[in-house]
Amino acid sequence: MKKLSMSELNRLEIEEYKSVKKIPVYLVLDNIRSMNNVGSIFRTCDAYRVKEIVLCGITPCPPHREIEKTALGATESVLWKHYENVKEAISFYRNKSLTIIGIEQTDKSVHIDRYNVDTTQGYVLLFGNEVNGLSESILDLIDFSIEIPQFGTKHSLNVSVAAGIAIHCFSIPFLRKMEKQ
């Protein structure tokens, strides 16, 4: 066994990446405070070919040196936009007939490993603030709530870690389908 070199990884150039098919998963980040979290999420979205990131409220936007520390250039490859208000973003994507899913622990949440991703439709994955999560007023606007099961003493995961898990779970069925085509 040997570690692969950068050239052996055969990664796409940014212009190539922009033209390849993306999976129909959109991430909405509502009032995320940490630029490092935002940068990490950009990088994960690049890795899984997520369609778009939507930055809402106080969520910091590129270009910014602190975001780039963890994004490592992914702000150039991943399509993104900003909305002042998350409700406007949800309304925009609802009009595109996408399923809106809040990643949050609620009394009606489904464990992510029990959710069956339908590759004939698109999804919006909504993530809330690092401390408060999704606001109660947003819960009325989503179709489902999904939670990531945890088995330790803590009540939540870092938002960039939670986003990575959710992106992986939602992306793999689409990427496998694309491989077969």
Strand-by-strand arrangement of the 144-147 sheet = 80-83, 50-56, 23-30, 123-127, 99-103, 144-147, 110-111
- What are the E-state strand segments in 62-155? 80-83, 99-103, 110-111, 123-127, 144-147
**pLDDT one-digit tens code per residue, 146-173:** 999 999 999 999 999 999 999 999 999 9
| pLDDT surpassing 90 at residue 181 | no
**pLDDT one-digit tens code per residue, 53-71:** 999 999 999 999 999 999 9
Would you state the CATH architecture of domain 19-148+156-180? 3-Layer(aba) Sandwich (3.40)
Phi and psi dihedrals of 7, rounded to 5?
Answer: -70, -30
Structural domain spans, the chain: 19-148+156-180
Q: Tell me the Cα Rg of the chain.
A: 16
- Residue 58's pLDDT is 98
For the whole model, what pTM was predicted? 0.96
